[in-house]
Amino acid sequence: MVLPPVSDADLDRAFAALADPVRRAIIARLSRGAATVNELAEPFEISKQAVSKHIQVLEQAGLVSRTRDAQRRPVHLEAARLEAMTAWIDRYRLAAEQRFRALDAVLEHSTAPGSARATTQISTDKEKQS
């Protein structure tokens, strides 16, 4: 499976798109299957035009795509872009967690209360995260 490259600007748009509760609800709905604009607009109080704009934002973010079916324009979820987002997050989340575990292991072996704390920075990290 070939994954297309995801640029910095792509991530900008993808994260910004999911920063809105209406758009996240649309994503949640689409995870159960494709839907038209009218179907997607039904649960919300806002106008159909506003929902159409939200879908455009999601489409430009690469999170959804649209096909054609007579007058209808069914919207589909693009799971690949969601995957690219988790890939970005996990890259740094896992790096940080691994660093914390390594730090815990070090402190495990040097439990010397009262000794000089030359590394206030590191010990602060430990206290905050454990």
Q: Which residues make up the interface to DNA (CB under 7 A)?
A: 16, 19-20, 22, 36-39, 45-50, 52-57, 66, 70-74
Amino acid at 101: R
Local structure of 73: helix, strand or coil? coil
Restricted to residues 15-34, the positions that interact with its own copies (CB under 8 A) are: 15-16, 18-21, 24, 27-28, 30-34
The H or E element containing residue 94 is: helix 79-109
For DNA, the closer of residues 10 and 39 by Cβ is 39
- How far apart, in Å, are the Cα atoms of 101 and each of 46, 62, 67, 95? 47, 35, 47, 10
- What values do phi and psi take at 27, rounded to 5? -60, -45
Judged by beta carbon distances under 5 to 8 A according to partner kind, the member of its own copies, DNA, none in contact with residue 119 is none
Restricted to residues 69-98, the positions that interact with its own copies (CB under 8 A) are: 69, 74, 76-77, 79, 82-83, 85-86, 88-93, 95-97
DSSP assignment letter at 76: E
CA quadruple 56, 83, 69, 33: dihedral, nearest 10? -110
- The footprint of its own copies (CB under 8 A) covers 8, 11-13, 15-16, 18-21, 24, 27-28, 30-34, 65, 67, 69, 74, 76-77, 79, 82-83, 85-86, 88-93, 95-97, 99-100, 120-121, 124-125, 127-129
